[in-house]
Structure 1
Amino acid sequence: MRLDDITTGMLLAKDVCDPNGNPLIRAGTIVTGRHIRALKSWGIGEIAIQSDAPPPAMAPRDPAELAELKAMLDVQFSLSNPEHPAMRALYDICLERALSQR
């Protein structure tokens, strides 16, 4: 898939390698904005994306790790209305990003 069509949250189907065959990003990685910027800077125009990837939030996680991240986000979002759809969406995005960076 062309890099311009890639969005965060997609699942990498194959390793992305440098010209010498050294892996830069491993298959199974959830693509982040940082990955997209790095790939562009490396001159990589296309990557293989898994088409039937489950949403990143559905990936199995260690319950203790998930609880720790949620506790951290609860503090950061303590002054917001958790029932507001925009704040709920922002919370979920932040949680997804924190999970993808671990």
Structure 2
Amino acid sequence: MAKINTKDLVPGMVLAKDAEHANGRVLLKAGAQLNENHIKVFKTWGINNVEITTGEDNSVQPKQDYSADEIKRALDKSRVKFQHCDMKQPLINELFRISAKNNLKNRGTNNR
């Protein structure tokens, strides 16, 4: 699992732990697959970070363990490439996920 800033979340990621407000209210249970509305709710309620799964099935991170900083860099690199795309489109969202995953696999091997 990795702690990810809400601004770096993308639909399709899966919560590893319950997303809770500071007052203890659970906004979304662990295991939920995030969509655009969930991410908006987190931002509205002031949730800055959430824990996402790091398994290969539903997250950006492959089997290897990566730091939250490495994941953030991979997401940022992909975000630049996809900045003009409609992330609400499932195909675009999946391509973004694959791009970020590849950025993690190839970290340090190319600087494109």
TM normalised by structure 2 equals: 0.47
Calculate percent identity across the aligned residue pairs.
32
* Alignment partner, residue 40 of structure 1: 43
Find out whether 1:49 has 2:56 as its counterpart: no
Alignment CA distance shift 1:32-1:53 (3 Å): farther
**1:21-58 Cα shifts (integer Å, max 9, x gaps):** 221100000000000111001111100000115149xx
* Alignment partner, residue 28 of structure 1: 31
Q: Distance in 2 between matches of 1:43 and 1:33?
A: 16
Over the aligned positions, Cα root-mean-square deviation in angstroms equals 2.1
Q: Distance in 2 between matches of 1:16 and 1:24?
A: 6
Find out whether 1:11 has 2:14 as its counterpart: yes
- Which amino acid in 2 is paired with 1:44? I
Q: Which runs of 4+ in 1 moved over 6 A?
A: none
Q: What secondary structure, in the 3-state scheme, does the structure 2 residue paired with 1:51 have?
A: coil
Give the number of the structure whose alpha-carbon radius of gyration is greater.
Answer: 1
Gaps of 5+ in 2: 60-88, 92-112
Contact 1:11/1:53, CA 8 A, preserved across alignment? no
Alignment CA distance shift 1:55-1:13 (3 Å): closer
Aligned residue-pair number? 59
Q: Distance in 2 between matches of 1:55 and 1:18?
A: 24
